[in-house]
Amino acid sequence: MREIRSSFNLQLLAMLGLWMLLLLLGVVSPAKIHGNPANDLVALVNANRTASKLPRLRTSAGLGCMALQYISECIGIGGDACAGDNTVACQPPEAHITEVYAANCGVELPTVDVITGRLVGCHRQRSDAESALDAVLSSGNSTARASALAVIRGKEHTQVGAGFDRAHRRGPFFWCLLFTSGSANSTFLLEAAGKGVHQTHGCFSAPDSLSCSAGAAANAAAVVPLLLFFLLVLVVVGHS
């Protein structure tokens, strides 16, 4: 009878611990961002260009990481960086793009080239790229819309990079597009065989990056010690 009761208590403890672990995972994990919105932004830019009979732009991971760094600086400033009209109330110094962001991403400094265009925006509710870009292209401000289209359709561009991140668990969501006229084979190249410096949050455009999972991976790593502690408790109780 004592063995049955001990077994029942062990099973109950295991179920309770598992339930608490799942609850904790739900708390620490951010609201899910489906796929990689940064890659989706690049696809939307190229769709707009081809509709205007302009050549598609190559995706640059180096530029994409630098775009992510741009919005990260805006988010880090604090305050209400996302204005009511989905514009970003933040203007980092121009020199930061090529001097600070490139180094933070692990872009090979000799390959840093000219930035020929920049587009930044945000959205308070939606985390998908289409809503983010439409908020600018469908703006009631005709001047802002014309300016955004002029950047996207710039004839001097050869490459584009996009960054996507959020300020808080439920938003607002920030995005940035950087353009260059440099050669794809010799500009904004990442160190470490194209891997560059690992980013711990957000996502940026890269052909081999299909998900915006940097933040989720960090959260999962934080839960591992708790899981090990829970397993240790089970072992101790099982031998008592």
Residues whose CB falls within 8 Å of the CB of residue 224, separated by 6 or more in sequence, listed in order: none
Q: Report how far residue 46's alpha carbon sits from residue 205's, in angstroms, rounded to the nearest whole number.
A: 13
pLDDT at 82: 83
Q: Which amino acid is at 28?
A: V
Task: Give 165's strand partners.
Answer: 174
Q: Is the pTM of this model over 0.85?
A: no
Higher-scoring residue by pLDDT: 45, 192: 45
Domain extent at residue 9? 2-27+220-238
Q: Are residues 157 and 229 in the same domain?
A: no
Cβ atoms of 164 and 130 closer than 8 Å: no
Q: Are residues 39 and 127 in the same domain?
A: yes
Q: To 5 degrees, how large is the angle CA 67–CA 71–CA 73?
A: 115
Q: Are residues 23 and 59 in the same domain?
A: no
Q: Are residues 163 and 81 in the same domain?
A: yes
pLDDT at 133: 80
Q: Report how far residue 222's alpha carbon sits from residue 136's, in angstroms, rounded to the nearest whole number.
A: 37
pLDDT, average across residues 137-161: 89
Beta strand segments in 108-172, E = 115-123, 159-166
pLDDT, average across residues 48-69: 96
Q: Report how far residue 81's alpha carbon sits from residue 89's, in angstroms, rounded to the nearest whole number.
A: 5
On the question of pLDDT at 55 being above 90, the answer is: yes
Residue 213 lies in a domain: no
Higher-scoring residue by pLDDT: 63, 230: 63
How confident is residue 120, by pLDDT bands cut at 50, 70 and 90?
Answer: very high
pLDDT at 171: 74
Residue 179: CB atoms within 10 Å = 25
Q: Report how far residue 15's alpha carbon sits from residue 12's, in angstroms, rounded to the nearest whole number.
A: 5
Residue 211 lies in a domain: no
Q: Are residues 15 and 82 in the same domain?
A: no
pLDDT tens-digit map of 184-215: 999 999 998 888 898 888 999 987 766 675 44
Supply the CATH number for residue 153's domain. Answer: 3.40.33.10
Q: Are residues 196 and 101 in the same domain?
A: yes
pLDDT at 140: 65
